Amino acid sequence: MASESIFNATIENFESDVLEASFDTPVLVDFWAPWCGPCRMLMPLLDKIVGSYNGTLKLAKVNTDEQGEIAGSFGIRSLPTVVLIKDGKPVDGFMGAQPEGAIRALLAKHMPAIDVAAEEPEDVAQPELNVDLDQAIAEARAEVADNDSEEAPKAKLADLLIRSGAMAEAEALLEGLSESGRETAEASRALARLAFARIASASPGEQALLQTLASDANNLGARHQLGAVLLCSGREEAALQQFLQILKSDRKFEDDLGRRALVEAFSVVDDDALVGDYRRRMSTLLF
C-alpha cells in the first residue's frame, strides 16, 4: 500500500521524509525484511492502523536487506522492529509482531485519540499463549495430589504457575524438590522459566529497554533483559534473536551470557523447528 502516509524509506529520502517530516507528522518506521515471517504478519496491520489516523500518522517501511545503512544507524538487530519518530527523534517502539490493541496503546501515549470503536481489535499477531492455562493448572494440581511422592508433576505444575504469574507458589514447589528432582527435564524447564521471569520482573520494562537500545545498541545487559521480557510474553523468536545478538557481539560478555541464555531458552521454547534453527545459528558462531 503506497500513499502519502505509507511509503518505502530509503537512504535518499529518510532525512527529509522521515526525520524532518516528523516535526509535523509522527512517523512509524517499520524495519522489515522479505524473509521475515513475523514482518509479513505485522505489515498489513500497521497499514490498517496508520490508515485509521487519516493522515495524522505516517508509516515508513525500511527493507533492511536493501537499506542496511539506515538499519545500522538505529542499531537494528531484531526483525520486525518498529520505531516511532517524533520531532526528529525516536520516542517509542517495539520488537516482534504485536496485536493491534498493544500497538494502538503505544500510539495513544504520543498521538491524539481517535475513534476506533467501530473496529474490532485484531489479534492476528498475538503470540499464541495457552488459552487453557487455568485448566492445565487445575489438571496439574490434581496430578500432584494423586502422586504426592513424585517430583516431576510438581515441577510441571511449577512451570505452569510461573506462566500464570504465581511466582511465589512456583518457587515454593521448586525449592521443595530433591537434588535429583531438580535435574529432571520438567524441573530444568521450570527453573529456566523462573530465571527469565525474575530477570523480566526486575527490568525497567520493554519500552524503556527499547529506548536504551535505540541510543546504545551495544548495551548487552539491556538486550539480555529485553530477551527475557520477550520470552516471558510469548514472543519466543524475538527473544532468541536478542540472545543470539549478544553471542554475536561479545562471547566474553558476562561469561558467555549470550550462549547460556540461548541454551536456557531452548528448554523453555515449545517450537522444535524454531529451536533447531537457532541451535544451528548458535553452532555457526561457536565453531
| Other Cβ atoms within 10 Å of 71 Cβ, number | 21
* Cβ contacts of 127 within 8 Å, gap of 6 or more: 97, 233, 234, 235, 236
Q: Which is catalytic among the residues 6, 36, 107, 229?
A: 36
Q: Which is catalytic among the residues 29, 39, 106, 157?
A: 39
- Grid cell 517430583 is found at 151
Q: Are the beta carbons of 78 and 214 closer than 8 angstroms?
A: no
The residues facing 61 across adjacent strands are 8, 30
* Cβ contacts of 152 within 8 Å, gap of 6 or more: 181, 184, 186, 187
Determine whether 232 is an active site residue.
no
- Report the DSSP pairing between strands 81-86 and 27-32: antiparallel
Distances (CA, A) of 180 to 72, 170, 220: 47, 18, 34
Alpha-carbon distance 111 to 98, whole Å?
Answer: 18
Q: Are the beta carbons of 269 and 262 closer than 8 angstroms?
A: no
- Would you please indicate which residues are annotated as catalytic (active-site) residues? 36, 39
